[in-house]
Structure 1
Amino acid sequence: MSLPPLPAQPDSVPWPTRTWPTGDLPPALKRARFEALTAEAFDAPISDRLGKTHALLLVQGGRIVFERYGEGFVPEDTQPSWSKAKSITHALVGLLVGDGRLDIHAPAAVPEWRSEGDPRAAITLDHLLRMSSGLKFVEDYVPGHVSDVIEMLFNTGKDDVAAYAARQPPAHPPGTFWSYASGTTNIVARLAGDAADGDIAGFMQTRLFGPLGMTSPIPKFDAAGTFIGSSYCFCTPRDFARFGLLYLRDGVWEGRRLLPEGWVDYARTPTPQPPGTTEGAYGAHWWLGVGGPGSFSANGYAGQYTVLVPDLDLILVRNGDTPLENKDDLKAWVGQVIDTFR
């Protein structure tokens, strides 16, 4: 399939490695509609449709053109990533692939799958990144329901999240069935840590956060030393936007390629999904289409978003606390905000 081109950094706009350049909202903005949507998010402490919005940041053409925070929040506050961390994990894998330390098409080196005749031995890193490993995993955040993600993050699996996920039995042959699963990402994160010689914390700082000027990230690790890449990398909205800009600029930063050529396109190439899937289109550890055709995004529980819109050269970062039952309303609102720029 044909992917929309990714915009280059304008020659006149400095990279935000130290400080974000700022600009104005575009003259063609549907201003009345934009102001109504932002008022819905911020004018009351809690919106009936959106819950609480803690931050909204919009970057266009490499410049911050809008930034607003909810009551009690300031730009320096770190915000939860929840599953936006999955896309950070994708970047770490890309760096290791570029180093020649990981091969996404080779069987994943997972110790739990090495027994003779284990069908999971056929699972590749590509299957894992595309949420198509075939492993059984219940991704349910409702207390009292059967939930592997809650068991993994908060109960018996919390000390070794990757081991908990890797022990799950196969439900489908690898590559035949898409099913979103946080456990999958934690297996990937352990593989990345192993490939980084056991120092994934140092690796992410020197190879990803440092070069981008991201000074706020607080990644969380379990007792086994695995980055909990499914769920935990707190950042300021401005740093979430820096990470988004790396992907919107095709993995290039300050004229230097950080991510391997083609890695961003890999992230935004659709993964086959079962008919009737309601969660939305998916690539490789990035969601697709939230901001219109060609957009891709890092999405997190309770309404965390970093949405990249190539045709508008636009990044939207939203952090907040939206009830689960309102997630579709929030997704629609994000799309509506982006549409005011069209």
Structure 2
Amino acid sequence: KDGKLAVTDKALLPEWRGDTDPRRDISLDDLLRMSSGLAFDETYDDPLADVTQMLFVDGDMARFAAAKTLVAPPGTEWHYSSGTSAIIAAILRETFATEQDYLRYPRERLFQPLGMRSAVLELDAAGTFVGSSFLYASARDFARLGLLFLQDGMWQGQRLLPEDWVVYSRGPARTLPDGSYGAHLWLRLRESEGLGVPPMSEDAYYFLGHDEQIVAIVPSRDLVIVRLGLTRQGGAWDHARDLAPIVQAFPLSQN
């Protein structure tokens, strides 16, 4: 919104800007759509996996992820990576003149206007927002964030997200044939495939968190649903199965 970054920008980090470094061709759009081509092991129950090492061992999470080998040309393959979100947080940091400007930005430009008083974004040891994880907020405050997207980035007459950002975010990543992911948004609940569960709503999209946490945005019902908690047992909670009856209980929007 402030013109600091464009989704077409490349050569995004100093260590990627060498003339012969293939990572210089990674665009912000590639990162937002999990299509950077960088290697990253997202196996949560492996203590030696990249995601575990990044979140709990390495002090500079973004640099840990940014140093990974390029295993596919940028923009050609989809691979979910928490490291990607950490890299984006570091790229944003580079656009600010001072550390205080960077640290104040989420609160001043997003949380305060939305009234998200409970929201806390954790930093890593290097002072960069983690990005992929560790955003804490109440269910009501997460609902405010979902409502911002439902209202196309507008809040009480003020534009908080760039014009057309929601439309852009909901555009499916062309590197993922099933169309289930956009720009850091889930467009379909993949875990219910093969279970005979109908789509919650054809136009719904989602912020999905660890251990079955979710913010579901359903424009056709003018609806936002938040589910927080901790559900590690497989099958104990299924988003589509358990939220679909709630969605269907609300009438279709007249807008």
Both proteins in one fold, TM over 0.5: yes
**1:282 to 2:181 alignment:** yes
Of the three residues 206, 230, 237, the one matched with 1:321 is 230
Deviation at 1:128, TM superposition (A): 0.3
Name the aligned partner's letter for residue 210 of structure 1.
Q
Correspondence list, 1:121-140, <5 A: 121-140=24-43
Deviation at 1:336, TM superposition (A): 3.7
Contact preservation (8 Å) 2:10, 2:24 = yes
Q: Secondary structure at 1:302's aligned position in 2? A: helix
Q: Secondary structure at 1:174's aligned position in 2? A: coil
Q: Would you say how many aligned residue pairs link Structure 1 and Structure 2? A: 239
Of the three residues 183, 187, 210, the one matched with 2:83 is 183
Name the aligned partner's letter for residue 223 of structure 1.
A
Question: Structure 2: where are the runs of 5+ without partners?
Answer: 190-199
2:235, 2:17 → 1: CA distance? Answer: 42
Any runs of at least 4 consecutive aligned residues in structure 1 with deviations exceeding 4 A, and if so which?
A: none
Deviation at 1:331, TM superposition (A): 4.2
Q: Secondary structure at 1:308's aligned position in 2? A: strand
Correspondence list, 1:250-289, <5 A: 250-275=152-177, 281-289=180-188
Contact preservation (8 Å) 2:11, 2:23 = no
Q: Which residue does the alignment assign to 1:105? A: 8
Deviations 1:190-241 (A, max 9, x none): 1112223333320111110111111111110011110001001100111001
Name the aligned partner's letter for residue 171 of structure 1.
V
TM-score (norm 2): 0.88
By relative contact order (CA 8 Å, sep 6+), the higher-ranking structure is 1
- State percent identity of aligned pairs: 44
How well do the aligned residues superpose, as a CA RMSD in angstroms?
1.8
Of the three residues 73, 94, 98, the one matched with 1:173 is 73
**Structure richer in strand, relative to its length:** 1
Contact preservation (8 Å) 1:289, 1:296 = yes
**1:148 to 2:50 alignment:** yes
2:2, 2:23 → 1: CA distance? Answer: 26
1:264, 1:274 → 2: CA distance? Answer: 19
Deviations 1:166-204 (A, max 9, x none): 000001100000111000000001111222333332011
Q: Which residue does the alignment assign to 2:194? A: none
Correspondence list, 1:153-168, <5 A: 153-155=55-57, 157=58, 159-168=59-68
Shift in CA distance, 180/327, structure 1 to aligned 2, threshold 3 Å: farther
2:156, 2:12 → 1: CA distance? Answer: 34
Deviations 1:86-130 (A, max 9, x none): xxxxxxxxxxxx211111101042122123311111001110001
**1:339 to 2:241 alignment:** no
Name the aligned partner's letter for residue 80 of structure 2.
Y
Deviation at 1:289, TM superposition (A): 2.9
Deviations 1:24-78 (A, max 9, x none): xxxxxxxxxxxxxxxxxxxxxxxxxxxxxxxxxxxxxxxxxxxxxxxxxxxxxxx
**1:116 to 2:15 alignment:** no
Q: Secondary structure at 2:206's aligned position in 1? A: strand
Name the aligned partner's letter for residue 216 of structure 1.
S
1:327, 1:207 → 2: CA distance? Answer: 37
Contact preservation (8 Å) 2:34, 2:81 = yes
Name the aligned partner's letter for residue 185 of structure 2.
W
Name the aligned partner's letter for residue 170 of structure 1.
L
Q: Which residue does the alignment assign to 2:133? A: 231
Question: Structure 1: where are the runs of 5+ without partners?
Answer: 1-97
Deviations 1:244-285 (A, max 9, x none): 11110000111121211100111111112445x6xx700000
2:204, 2:239 → 1: CA distance? Answer: 16
Q: Which residue does the alignment assign to 2:192? A: none
**1:192 to 2:92 alignment:** yes
Shift in CA distance, 325/310, structure 1 to aligned 2, threshold 3 Å: same
1:260, 1:274 → 2: CA distance? Answer: 25
1:112, 1:333 → 2: CA distance? Answer: 45
Q: Which residue does the alignment assign to 1:88? A: none
